[in-house]
Copies of this chain bind each other. A is one copy, B any other.
Amino acid sequence: MNTIHDMGGMHGFGPVEREANEPVFHADWERRVFALTTAVSFAVPFTDDNLRSAIESIPPARYLASTYYELWLEALTKILIGRRVVSERELASGRAEPLSKDIEVLGPVTPADALAALDAGFPARRASGKPARFRLGDAVRARNLNPATHTRLPRYARGRLGHIVADHGVMSFNDANGRGDGEQPQHVYAVRFTMRELWGPEASARDHLTLDLWDDHLDPA
């Protein structure tokens, strides 16, 4: 999805502003949004890619006008409404209505199980998948893909020439997963680009940028 979240290489957003002694959360509702998103994903399973995809679907003007946890809240709400576990009417009234019998959900995660799961993590690595098409040192060109669905290939790299500097092994493919096409496990490579390849002759000749790209993002070059 070529929308405003894919902002690498844009001008015009102004200086980076750091807050001294920044708290983890800036308001109690931010705490609750973070925790709700994490906890409810056990009972109504969704992945980071579902959440990212829902955030990316927020129209650009609202995306830019929203704070980070406002984006999470909107995306989480959209996911839960899409799964029919919450309705706009309930959110407006604040009153829960009975859950339809045909909706599959799990029970609430307990505090201990939640913390154990977070400590274990949710590895993207898979035991097997599509054979690797590339090897260390190979020259590759990022494909010029412009799907209307979720993708982890940023626009600024499309069509650009890089080199494989690491093979991270086989992982679930976020692009496929985000559009509901299953995990399609495949190799993920660290692909190094010169800054001049990405940004033209005005860029530093010395500097590089590395992206982690899936096998399906790449063509031999």
Q: Write the residues of chain A forming the contact surface with B, with a CB cutoff of 8 angstroms.
A: 1-4, 9-14, 56-57, 59-61, 64-65, 143-148, 155, 158-160, 198-200, 202-203
Contact = CB atoms under 8 A, between A and B. Distances in A.
Nearest to A3: B12
Given A61-B64, A159-B160, A160-B159, A12 B146 contact: no
Nearest to A58: B12
Contacts of A144: 198-200
A20 B10 CA distance: 35
A36 to B, nearest CB: 25
Secondary structure call for the A interface: loop
Q: Which of A10, A143, A198 has most chain B Cβ within 10 Å?
A: A10
A207 to B, nearest CB: 14
A155 B147 CA distance: 17
What are the 4 tightest A-B residue pairs by CB atom distance, in nearest-first order?
A3-B12, A61-B64, A144-B200, A2-B11
Contacts of A155: 9, 155
A10 B2 contact: yes
A6 B191 CA distance: 27
Contacts of A61: 61, 64-65
Contacts of A202: 145-147
A199 to B, nearest CB: 5
Q: Which of A2, A145, A199, A202 has most chain B Cβ within 10 Å?
A: A2
A90 B3 CA distance: 39
A134 B147 CA distance: 34
B199 A146 contact: yes
A3 B64 CA distance: 13
A216 to B, nearest CB: 12
Contact of A4 (B4, B14, B203): B4
Nearest to A9: B2
A119 to B, nearest CB: 36
Nearest to A5: B12
